[in-house]
Amino acid sequence: AMAAWQLDAQRSSLFFVSTKKNTVAETHHFDDISGKYEQGQARLAIDLASVETNIDIRNERMQEHLFEVGDFATALVTVEVPEQRVADLAPGDNLILDTTATLSLHGSEKPVDTVLSVTRLADDTIQVANLRPVIINAGDFGLARGVEKLREIAGLPSISPAVPAQFTLYYTKR
């Protein structure tokens, strides 16, 4: 059997960008993510109640009206990465992987194309980040109504449904 890898949540990060009033872009993130990689499958779980926008009331409104965390607490990403590709990496080596992940969010499951940069930092540590920006469209996951609701509540002329996201994940062999 090959190695099992555990996400190092403390070091890892998942950011996304919202744009309001056409011109105001803000960076947000999720505080609680978890994951593992074994038998060629990587899984990443995102606790949607851990959304952090630096404004408490906005965090609460996103949990309630956008993500609807009472019904959909967690988003889940899965992606196949051949074990041998990772096993073959020596410390310092980097691998670019053009692949398709599956994102399950708010009751919808959709493919997400991604270009991953996988770097072996040490025998027991790998870093996985997106090389190409990932853009999540709210409408693909039944989130357009929620975005519209946030816009109304905040009295804004517009909020973009296109949301760039950025992740840097560290995994430790155990």
CA 29 – CA 80 distance, rounded (Å): 24
Q: How far is the CB of 38 from ligand UQ8 (least distance, A)?
A: 9
Q: Is 58 in the site for ligand UQ8 (CB under 6 A)?
A: yes
Residue 64 C-beta-side C-alpha neighbours within 13 Å:
9
Instruction: Tell me the three state secondary structure of residue 5.
Output: strand
Enclosing H/E stretch for 147: helix 144-154
CA 22 – CA 57 distance, rounded (Å): 22
Q: Is 55 in the site for ligand UQ8 (CB under 6 A)?
A: yes
Q: How far is the CB of 10 from ligand UQ8 (least distance, A)?
A: 16
Q: How far is the CB of 124 from ligand UQ8 (least distance, A)?
A: 13
For ligand UQ8, which residue of 12, 33, 44, 170 counts as binding (CB under 6 A)?
Answer: 44
CA 123 – CA 121 distance, rounded (Å): 7
Q: Is 153 in the site for ligand UQ8 (CB under 6 A)?
A: yes
Residue 33 C-beta-side C-alpha neighbours within 13 Å:
28
For ligand UQ8, which residue of 42, 45, 49, 120 counts as binding (CB under 6 A)?
Answer: 42
Q: How far is the CB of 61 from ligand UQ8 (least distance, A)?
A: 5
CA 47 – CA 67 distance, rounded (Å): 10
Q: Residues 66 to 125: which contact ligand UQ8 by CB under 6 A? A: 75, 77, 79, 81, 86, 101, 103, 105, 112, 114, 116, 118
Q: Is 173 in the site for ligand UQ8 (CB under 6 A)?
A: no
Q: Is 16 in the site for ligand UQ8 (CB under 6 A)?
A: yes
- Unique residue bearing structure tokens 């992987």: 97
The angle formed by the CA atoms of residues 7, 61 and 71, to the nearest 5 degrees, is 60
Contact status, residue 86 vs residue 94, Cβ threshold 8 Å: no
Q: Contact residues for ligand UQ8 (CB under 6 A)?
A: 5, 16, 18, 20, 37, 42, 44, 46, 55, 57-58, 61, 75, 77, 79, 81, 86, 101, 103, 105, 112, 114, 116, 118, 128, 134, 136, 138, 143, 147, 150, 153-154, 159, 163, 165, 167, 169, 171
